[in-house]
Structure 1
Amino acid sequence: MKIRATRRSVRRAGFAGASAVTLAAVLAIVAPTAAQASGERYEKYPWSDTVYVSSYPYVAARAITYPEWVAAGSPTPRVGLVTGSHVISYQTNPSAIYIGPFQDDLRPRVNDRHVSYAEWLAVGSPSPTRSIYGYIKTANSPNIYRCSTDGGYGAPYLVTYDSWLWNGSPSPVTVSSITARCP
């Protein structure tokens, strides 16, 4: 059944004072923002001011600069777990959870963050992936070594301070001696 509205039927229905709605007025209300129209999603972690953008199909987000955010129309980012984030726990400290944005050769390395229980809840309490790596040290040395639960990945090796920071500054387990595998 087709409904046909004329001025007369509109007046009869009690909308006599109604004005014509223009297409421009409707689009101003329902049209997507430039960011939505382009298929981009803006996100941020609850603990950070960094805004990330991901494009359809929302595989992984990348951090954007303030000028890029302004050029996109300063969209309000969704606060939570950023698309493509990794959530991990290390073998030597499985109760500690580290979260960081997706990393690859095209995205600069960003530090993982050791999150508090409240921060973990704020991003939806995602289940962490258990890393095969861990961190160890001896009681008589400040050196920290990265080790593997799988001996096939080689003997523990000394990590640089920067590498340790990148991985969220995980607390190393103190061992009596550096062995071929994680404890």
Structure 2
Amino acid sequence: MATRRILTVDNAADLAVLKRVSQPVPAVTDDLRALMDDMLETMYAAPGIGLAAVQIGEPVSVIVMDISREEDAKAPRYFVNPEIVWASDELAVYEEGCLSVPEIYDEVERPAKVKLKYLNYAGEAVEEDAEGLFAVCIQHEMDHLKGVLFIDHLSRLKRERAVNKVKKAARDKAA
């Protein structure tokens, strides 16, 4: 396993990759499991609760997640080719952040509940319901697979401010 560099919005080349639409994978292979292991290590090191493959420069339809709150009780989840097959009309607002938009948080409104289907780490087909933080996180990460960042849900002014803050922080860190 290896920790990979997470792409961020302050870098034009990174942003171009983050805006790409991820491609489905034909099967869960040992190589894909190695990628998911790297993604999980990268996510934990960041630290974060979800990571799409495109965020480390691999535009394939793969997500890892761990929304457990306990450091000693990790519960990693793997989602290959995830699809939302149903979303509730009821909406929920949640304050989101993103490893590709470091230190920026804002409220985003999304369906409160979704049903999704995907392949797990073993390549088995799974269908399940999600609500609460799980629903928010899976929708956030699935947006990445479509080239959408959480700041794209904000007004143009808030989005521009967020990107400028990330750019300023990167310049300050480099100085």
- Per the TM superposition, whether the score is higher than 0.5 is no
Q: Which has the higher contact order (CA 8 A, sep 6+)?
A: 2
Q: Which has the higher helix share?
A: 2
Bigger fraction of residues in strand: 2
TM interval, shorter chain, is under 0.3
